[in-house]
Amino acid sequence: MNAQPSAREVAQFRDLIATRLGLHFDESKLVNLAKLLALHAKGDCGAFLTYLADATLAQLAALAPELTVTETFFFRYVDQINAFAEVALPACVQAHDGARAVRILSAGCASGEEPFSLAIASRERAGVTESQVELTALDINPVMLAKAARAHYTHWSLRDFPPELKQRWFRSEGDSFVLSDSIRRMVRFENRNLADSDPAFWQLESFDIIFCRNVLMYFTPQQMQAAVERIAGALAPGGYLFLGHAETLRGLSNDFHLCHTHGTFYYRRKPHLSAPPSYTPPAAVAPHWRPGEVLGDTGWIAAIADASQRIDVLAARAPPAASSAPAASAPDLQRARAYLHSERYDRTLEQIGALAFEHAGDPDVLLLKAVSLSQSGALAAAEAACHQLLALDELSAGAHYVLALCREEGGDTAGAFSHYQSASYLDPEFAMPRLQAGLLARRQGRPDAARHDLAQALLLLKREDAARLLLFGGGFKREALMALCRAELTALGDYP
Ligand SMILES: C[S@@+](CC[C@H](N)C(=O)[O-])C[C@H]1O[C@@H](n2cnc3c(N)ncnc32)[C@H](O)[C@@H]1O
């Protein structure tokens, strides 16, 4: 028996947490995991690890309070609450036309602020009665569920909650605010593990709206993908999915349309699911996770390899040009890309046009085509290529970026801004949409927005992939783009 866990036991503990709870802990957390293992194992790590491998939810739940982040508050991301109340809920109420209640799931509900916010928003904003909405809320952490059941909240939990609603739905009791019974009884709480595929719960098409915010960001990529597949299956066709601000389905699922209203993003399930496994991300775009450096409040940044890397892969697959063959008759992507880099867009397009038929609809080829067309001023054709690409891969950040450039060039600044935002949301590591959105905001006389986007662009440019800069940088090098950001920030009074 060993009081202190060995490195192998800590690694085994981490793997068990990943497979049983879905939660991912990187190397920097191993010391904390070792302490937790020592605490729970009570001197016999081997026996505890064996017990954990087959533990029930109740047994696993004992670990949850120490492993999970439980930060939440009422009306968190109020834009999403508005989109829920003004778009998703009315659409679902109308679809059921009174035949049954709208079924809503809050997965990873913590101490209840999220599902109770949805209950209040339903009653307040959409004129929906108590019986028209059925809310289920689940969490793995029993301590949080006990707080939810008590429904006593602090001022801090209600910091972003409108005062008039506080008066209507809460009563004061000492330092606490107690939620009204008529909202409390709208939500049914369950102690449940989102990483558990229990078919009795995840029944096909059993929910109309699912909120799963700031939960998947702590999952391993494999568990995240499995959870998204379950969610997609459990949502009715046309049902809505809300993720946290820094979470995207890019590289995870092809079963959803992206929605962008109320200044926020969310998803709508497609009528038909792709055959399982629903979506296998190409190796080069498989998500991997690292601490949030740009968006700040989350531990998630989808660091997704960019499309130009995929172009490399494709280029490597394309048959090499025979040395004796003239360039024009030996199309390959490396050459097309080289022409793009030297700003000879007509030659790039020639190379693409000469590709074998089976490559013509490849997402990477379409992106290269869209970039070349937009750079050569053929805006309508560039937009058409982007739409063709989005029909294949609705979550293509590159397509949204090129569309934004075209929209801006054509004078549609609102459309441009919306597509820059979509590109940044879908790939938070993508520097160019931040830069262009910052420049656009400055031209529009919105200095705060300009400062924010340009500062983010400067951070991202430092580590932006070189191949992606060549593809999207419009002929400018990293240093030049960074100098531009600094100059703009200085002009905005934000840079020494
Ligand atoms: C940061 S809170 C998010 C709360 C709320 N969704 C929001 O965005 O304000 C994350 C919650 O997910 C829960 N959670 C983490 N892993 C889980 C799992 N495997 N199954 C169910 N809930 C889980 C945690 O216990 C925690 O309460």
Q: What is the pLDDT of residues 155-167, one digit of tens each?
A: 999 999 999 999 9
Q: What is the pLDDT of residue 275?
A: 67
**Please, which pLDDT band fits residue 61 given cuts at 50, 70 and 90?**
confident
What burial class does residue 144 get, using C-beta atoms within 10 Å of its C-beta: 0-12 exposed, 13-18 middle, 19+ buried? buried
**Please, which pLDDT band fits residue 319 given cuts at 50, 70 and 90?**
very low
Q: Rounded to whole angstroms, how far apart are CA atoms 35 and 4?
A: 8
Closest CA to 386 of 407, 373, 412, 367: 367
Tokens of 214: 């700031």
**Please, which pLDDT band fits residue 413 given cuts at 50, 70 and 90?**
very high
Note the pLDDT tens digit of each residue in 245-255: 999 999 999 99
In the chain, where are the structural domains located?
A: 7-67, 78-284, 307-491
What single string gives the DSSP state of each residue in 291-335? --SSS-S-S--B----HHHHHHHHHHHSPPPPTTS-GGGS--HHH
Residue partners of 290: CB distance under 8 A and separation at least 6: 26, 301, 303
For the chain, how far is it from start to end, CA to CA, in angstroms?
60
Q: Rounded to whole angstroms, how far apart are CA atoms 299 and 71?
A: 13
For the residues 396-404, what does the mean pLDDT come to? Answer: 98
Residue 320 pLDDT > 60: no
The ligand 1 atom at the shortest distance from the C-alpha of residue 141 is 25
Closest CA to 245 of 209, 296, 303, 304: 296
Residue 3 pLDDT > 70: no
**Which residues' Cβ are closer than 6 Å to ligand 1?**
21-23, 64, 68-72, 76, 108-110, 114, 138-141, 144, 193-195, 213-215, 218, 244
Q: What is the pLDDT of residue 328?
A: 39
267: CA distance to ligand 1 center in Å? Answer: 19
Q: Rounded to whole angstroms, how far apart are CA atoms 296 and 130?
A: 37
Q: Rounded to whole angstroms, how far apart are CA atoms 409 and 377?
A: 9
Residue 330 pLDDT > 90: no
Residue 33 pLDDT > 60: yes
Q: What is the pLDDT of residue 496?
A: 63
Mean pLDDT of the chain: 88
Indicate the range of 38-47, 59-68, 356-365, 464-473 predicted with least confidence.
Answer: 356-365
**Residue 183, SS3?**
helix
Indicate the range of 51-65, 304-318, 456-470, 480-494 predicted with least confidence.
Answer: 304-318
Residue partners of 453: CB distance under 8 A and separation at least 6: 434, 435, 437, 438, 441
Q: Are 104 and 209 in contact (CB under 8 A)?
A: yes
Q: Rounded to whole angstroms, how far apart are CA atoms 362 and 488?
A: 37
Note the pLDDT tens digit of each residue in 227-237: 999 999 999 99
Closest CA to 407 of 395, 420, 396: 420
Cross-strand pairs, 188: 136
Mutate to test the pocket of ligand 1, among 19, 63, 68 (most ligand atoms within 8 A of CB): 68
Residue 316 pLDDT > 50: no
Residue 369 pLDDT > 90: yes
Alpha-carbon torsion (267, 269, 275, 277), positive or negative: positive
Residue 301 pLDDT > 70: no
Q: Are 49 and 16 in contact (CB under 8 A)?
A: yes
Percent share of the chain, pLDDT over 70: 87
Q: How do strand 264-269 and strand 235-243 relate by DSSP bridges? A: antiparallel
For the residues 28-45, what does the mean pLDDT come to? Answer: 93
Q: What is the pLDDT of residue 85?
A: 95
Note the pLDDT tens digit of each residue in 83-122: 999 999 999 999 998 899 999 999 999 999 999 999 999 9
Cross-strand pairs, 105: 136, 210
**Residue 7, SS3?**
helix
CA 216 to the chain's CA centroid: 9
289: CA distance to ligand 1 center in Å? Answer: 18
Residue partners of 487: CB distance under 8 A and separation at least 6: none
Q: Rounded to whole angstroms, how far apart are CA atoms 444 and 477?
A: 26
pTM (two decimals): 0.86
Same fold, 78-284 and 307-491: no
Does 362 or 137 have the greater pLDDT score? 137
Q: What is the pLDDT of residue 323?
A: 38
**Please, which pLDDT band fits residue 285 given cuts at 50, 70 and 90?**
very low
Q: 78-284, which class in CATH?
A: alpha beta
70: CA distance to ligand 1 center in Å? Answer: 6
Note the pLDDT tens digit of each residue in 169-223: 999 999 999 999 999 999 999 999 999 999 999 999 999 999 999 999 999 999 9
Instruction: Calculate the alpha carbon distances from 257 to 269, 371, 478 in Å.
Output: 6, 23, 33
Domain 307-491 CATH (choose: 1.10.101.10, 3.40.50.2300, 1.25.40.10, 3.40.309.10) = 1.25.40.10
For the residues 425-448, what does the mean pLDDT come to? Answer: 97
| Residue nearest atom 9 of ligand 1, based on CA coordinates | 72
Mutate to test the pocket of ligand 1, among 75, 113, 139, 209 (most ligand atoms within 8 A of CB): 139
